[in-house]
């Protein structure tokens, strides 16, 4: 038997993990199946230790379009770089497994998740972390798992484990939680403004539900897991210097240097102190072994700094810039700094500064999606840019990094919850967060700057949202939660907990733990403290922009929406698109949906109104009882044809023109005359009967036309006696036609056919005429 399968039930559906069947040359290989979604997950480590001073772990999430029966939409018709969804899915796995590799482990390790089948209902992103945990557990790679990952939705007040794609559209939250047996490791959430207590309850529910998956992986590891290999931990020479360096650094003023307010000045002071201490150990930097000793001393000094900062926070409630644990850095805001942008704002919090810019576009600007989801496009875009100058560094610039995509997605989820629907505000919206300065919490500053730029553009948000990054320092049972963390506190702390929301509740959340996990009590305390900080920031934002501007920015384009009868869409488009091209030549873009919704997009409000008026003219519908100022376009013996609006004429019968008897219509009306008329009847063919309004009740109404194809009823006698009607019932035998000759009814004398011979000479043998060549005989035209 090839392979071994282990199963459990998760969310009422079977989850199965199989190993030993596919990719057997790799250290750890499993397939994960949930419904008809199937993933192959592999884990492999290099044989040799890397010289890098960090964990060289990479996680790849590979989407294969054949998994959903699609051919990629790229030019080469094959998968290229991972899309945004794949990158975000890879980050979920990475953040879950990274903290559990042993300290000092430096073997290059790669986890590859390949989506082989996707059923469109069971999302593969939360199955990837389960597969990674299983592959690492059965492999020979040292790892302190297992972990598990589940998604939680809230539908009709009830929590649902791993909701289907359809269920997720009805859920108030999209919460992804990963954890070990004992604690939560990672949280990712987007929500429709839920309370902090609802979030904690949902996280606790997720942690309980994932225990069955952890049991399954532990059973796999016990039955088929390989023995973990031993790895060499390089001797940490820095550790031996820490006690001595601590004494020297504190004596040299390390505490005062660390409590310096400015990031750059603090770095200069601590570096100067470090270099002076190291100089006492290494008087000659060029001596043999001096470089290795300097490196060890620098590592030791960094540990001294970290220990002192953590001590100051835990014991004295003092942070690197002099704040206590609950204080938010000083904030200043400027609205509309960019003169031509549709909406813009600068949000500065301490030494973190973000320029938020909003641009409004049409449906043609929505981003096209070519991944495994059923979605084809997205009408809300948020892009986060983190250039090297924001941290005072020089680095190579290329495409977006995974960090930029992840931070941008968090801000996007936070703001999306308060956007108006496309029906309410029919614009495609793009928000860009340009990080100009960064000293921690730049993603949360992007939420604030982006919200302000949207309000500056006049986008009718449901409520302003803000974000704040929380930290944690924990030693044993003692801990302290930090509000609005610095970049230094992110590096030395044990948690990065970002919370976004309005005054009513949370709209997005992201949590990464660097320790073994945190308890629900710490989570509740962090959320309560985050709410306090968020409300403070929202208050500062309200001092500049309390609500969206009442009108769109003067530089923003205008979109007008209208509804027409879907049967009249062809009139707006015109033959070959002629009509719609003429409309767009007036200075606007026009989009038409199948339900008759028409949207007009123009940089000029006047041009948009002009196009709308033209469409209203083209799509007018005649209704009984409506009155028009019409123009006579044709006069006939029985009445006059009057143009009511472009493309629509009605007939004013001679009996409906005057109270007196009229012998000839042209005695009263001529082409070009204008008169007021009223519609009295529209038949099933769209033919319109008119009357002059002042004659209603004074003249006898005209008899309605007979319906098409129906009983025409009795007709009034025509003028003159036409004689008895001929009976064509019994025709008798048809007279024989002379051979080679074609008979034809004698044409009228005024017809062009009268000059043509009624018969054509019979051809001679061999196909030649006995006389002159005969003119071709054409079939009778049925007029």
Q: Please report whether residue 757 resides in a domain.
A: no
Q: Which helix (DSSP H) or strand (DSSP E) does residue 219 occupy?
A: helix 211-224
The more confidently predicted of residues 673 and 713 is 673
The C-alpha angle with vertex 513 and arms to 512 and 514, in degrees rounded to 5, equals 125
What is the structure's pLDDT at 465?
97
Residues 122 and 181 in one domain: yes
Q: Please report whether residue 780 resides in a domain.
A: no
What mean pLDDT comes out for the span 111-138?
96
Domain boundary among 573, 595, 618: 618
Residues 306 and 393 in one domain: no
Predicted confidence band of residue 704 (pLDDT cuts 50, 70, 90): low
**Is residue 545 within 8 Å of 456, Cβ to Cβ?**
yes
Q: Please report whether residue 21 resides in a domain.
A: yes
What is the structure's pLDDT at 413?
95
Residues 521 and 413 in one domain: yes
Check which CATH number belongs to the domain holding 110 and give it. Answer: 3.30.230.70
**Is residue 690 within 8 Å of 699, Cβ to Cβ?**
no
Residue 284 annotated as binding site: no
What mean pLDDT comes out for the span 214-233?
94
Domain boundary among 316, 349, 380: 316
What is the structure's pLDDT at 327?
95
* Domains: count for the chain: 5
Predicted confidence band of residue 694 (pLDDT cuts 50, 70, 90): confident
Q: Please report whether residue 323 resides in a domain.
A: no
**Is residue 658 within 8 Å of 668, Cβ to Cβ?**
yes
φ, ψ dihedrals at 607, nearest 5°: -65, -40
Q: What sign results for the dihedral spanned by CA atoms 31, 33, 39, 43?
A: negative
Residues 31 and 109 in one domain: yes
What mean pLDDT comes out for the span 162-168?
94
Q: Please report whether residue 149 resides in a domain.
A: yes
Residues 517 and 565 in one domain: no
Residues 614 and 648 in one domain: no
Closest residue by Cα to residue 2 from 18, 25, 14? 18
Residues 390 and 354 in one domain: yes
Cα-to-chain-centroid distance, residue 610: 32
**Is residue 146 within 8 Å of 214, Cβ to Cβ?**
yes
Residue-wise pLDDT tens digits, 508-552: 999 988 876 677 888 899 999 999 999 999 999 999 999 999 998
What is the structure's pLDDT at 717?
45
Q: Please report whether residue 458 resides in a domain.
A: yes
What is the structure's pLDDT at 94?
95
Check which CATH number belongs to the domain holding 586 and give it. Answer: 3.30.1370.10
Residues 198 and 268 in one domain: no
Residues 141 and 270 in one domain: no
Residues 445 and 539 in one domain: yes
Residue-wise pLDDT tens digits, 302-352: 889 999 999 999 999 999 888 999 999 999 999 999 999 999 999 999 999
For the residues of 680-716, what is the DSSP string, one character each?
Answer: EEE-TT--EEEE-GGGTTTSPPPPPPPPTTS-----P
Residues 108 and 190 in one domain: yes
The more confidently predicted of residues 432 and 744 is 432
What mean pLDDT comes out for the span 379-406?
91
The more confidently predicted of residues 634 and 686 is 634
Residues 439 and 565 in one domain: no
Domain boundary among 497, 516, 544: 544
The more confidently predicted of residues 583 and 712 is 583
Q: Please report whether residue 768 resides in a domain.
A: no
The more confidently predicted of residues 745 and 217 is 217
Q: Which residue has the tokens 């003159």?
A: 720
What range defines the domain where residue 516 resides?
Answer: 331-544
What is the structure's pLDDT at 491?
85
Residue 256 annotated as binding site: no
What mean pLDDT comes out for the span 129-145?
96
Q: Please report whether residue 579 resides in a domain.
A: yes
Mean pLDDT of the chain: 86
For the residues of 570-633, what is the DSSP string, one character each?
Answer: HHHH-GGGHHHHHHHHTT-EEEE-TTSEEEEEES-HHHHHHHHHHHHHHT----TT-EEEEEEE
Report the DSSP pairing between strands 352-361 and 343-349.
antiparallel
């Amino acid at each position: 038997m090839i392979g071994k399968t282990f199963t459990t039930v998760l969310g009422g559906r079977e989850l199965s993990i199989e190993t030993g069947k596919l990719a057997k040359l790799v250290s750890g290989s499993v397939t994960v199946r949930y419904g008809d979604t199937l993933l192959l997950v592999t884990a492999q480590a290099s044989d040799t230790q890397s010289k890098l001073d960090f964990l060289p772990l990479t996680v790849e999430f590979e989407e294969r379009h054949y998994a959903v029966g699609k051919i990629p939409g790229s030019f080469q018709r094959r998968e290229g770089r991972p899309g945004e969804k794949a990158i975000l899915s890879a980050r979920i796995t990475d953040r879950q497994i990274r903290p559990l590799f042993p300290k000092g482990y430096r073997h290059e390790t790669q986890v590859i998740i390949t989506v082989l089948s996707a059923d469109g209902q069971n999302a593969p992103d939360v199955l990837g972390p389960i597969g990674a945990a299983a592959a690492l557990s059965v492999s020979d790679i040292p790892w302190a798992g297992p972990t598990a990952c589940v998604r939680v939705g809230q539908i009709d007040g009830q929590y649902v484990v791993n909701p289907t794609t359809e269920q997720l559209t009805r859920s108030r939250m999209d919460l992804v939680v990963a954890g070990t047996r004992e604690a939560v490791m990672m949280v990712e959430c987007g929500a429709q403004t839920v309370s902090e207590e609802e979030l904690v309850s949902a996280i606790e529910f997720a942690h309980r539900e994932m225990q069955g998956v952890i049991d399954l992986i532990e059973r796999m590891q016990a039955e088929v897991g390989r023995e973990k290999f031993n790895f060499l931990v390089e001797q940490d020479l820095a550790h031996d210097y820490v006690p001595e360096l601590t004494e020297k650094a504190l004596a040299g003023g390390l505490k005062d240097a660390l409590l310096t307010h400015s990031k750059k000045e603090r770095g200069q002071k601590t570096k100067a102190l470090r270099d002076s201490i190291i100089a006492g150990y290494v008087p000659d930097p060029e001596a043999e072994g001096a470089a290795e000793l300097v490196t060890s001393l620098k590592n030791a000094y960094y540990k001294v700094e970290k220990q002192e900062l953590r001590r100051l926070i835990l014991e004295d409630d003092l942070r690197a810039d002099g704040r206590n644990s609950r204080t938010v850095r000083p904030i200043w805001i400027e609205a509309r700094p960019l003169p031509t942008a549709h909406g813009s704002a600068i949000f500065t919090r301490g030494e973190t500064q973000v320029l938020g810019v909003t641009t409004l576009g049409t449906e043609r600007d929505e981003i096209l999606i070519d991944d495994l989801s059923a979605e084809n496009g997205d009408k809300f875009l948020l892009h986060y840019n983190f250039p090297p100058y924001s941290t005072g560094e020089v680095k190579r610039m290329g495409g977006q990094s995974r960090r930029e995509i992840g931070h941008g997605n968090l801000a996007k989820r936070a703001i999306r919850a308060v956007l108006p629907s496309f029906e309410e505000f029919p614009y495609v919206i793009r928000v860009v967060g340009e990080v100009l300065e960064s000293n921690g919490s730049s993603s949360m500053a992007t939420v604030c700057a982006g919200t302000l730029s949207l309000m500056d553009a006049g986008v009718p948000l449901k409520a302003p949202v803000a974000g704040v990054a929380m930290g944690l320092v924990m030693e044993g049972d003692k801990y302290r939660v930090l509000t609005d963390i610095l970049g230094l506190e992110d590096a030395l702390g044990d948690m990065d907990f970002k919370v976004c929301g309005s005054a009513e509740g949370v709209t997005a959340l992201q949590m990464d733990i660097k320790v073994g996990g945190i308890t629900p009590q710490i989570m509740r305390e962090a959320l309560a403290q985050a709410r306090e900080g968020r409300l403070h920031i929202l208050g500062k934002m309200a001092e500049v922009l309390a609500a969206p501007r009442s009108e769109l920015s003067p530089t923003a384009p205008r979109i007008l929406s209208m509804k027409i009868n879907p049967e009249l869409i062809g009139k707006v488009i015109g033959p070959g698109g002629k009509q719609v091209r003429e409309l767009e030549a007036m200075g606007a873009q026009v989009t038409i949906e199948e339900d008759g919704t028409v949207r007009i997009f123009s940089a000029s409000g006047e041009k948009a109104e002009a196009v709308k008026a033209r469409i209203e003219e083209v799509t007018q519908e005649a209704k009984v009882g409506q009155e028009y100022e019409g123009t006579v376009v044709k006069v006939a013996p029985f009445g006059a044809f009057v143009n009511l609006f472009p493309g629509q004429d009605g007939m004013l019968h001679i009996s409906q023109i005057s109270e007196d008897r009229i012998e000839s219509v042209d005695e009263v009306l001529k082409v070009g005359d204008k008169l007021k008329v009223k519609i009295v009847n529209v038949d099933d063919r769209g033919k319109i009967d008119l009357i002059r309004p002042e004659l209603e009740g004074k003249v006898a109404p005209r008899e309605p036309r007979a319906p098409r194809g129906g009983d025409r009823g009795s007709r009034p006698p025509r003028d003159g006696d036409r004689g008895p009607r001929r009976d064509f019932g019994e025709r008798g035998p048809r007279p024989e036609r002379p051979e080679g000759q074609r008979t034809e009814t004698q044409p009228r004398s005024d017809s062009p056919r009268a000059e043509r011979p009624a018969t054509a000479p019979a051809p001679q043998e061999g196909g030649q005429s006995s006389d002159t060549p005969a003119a071709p005989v054409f079939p009778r035209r049925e007029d």
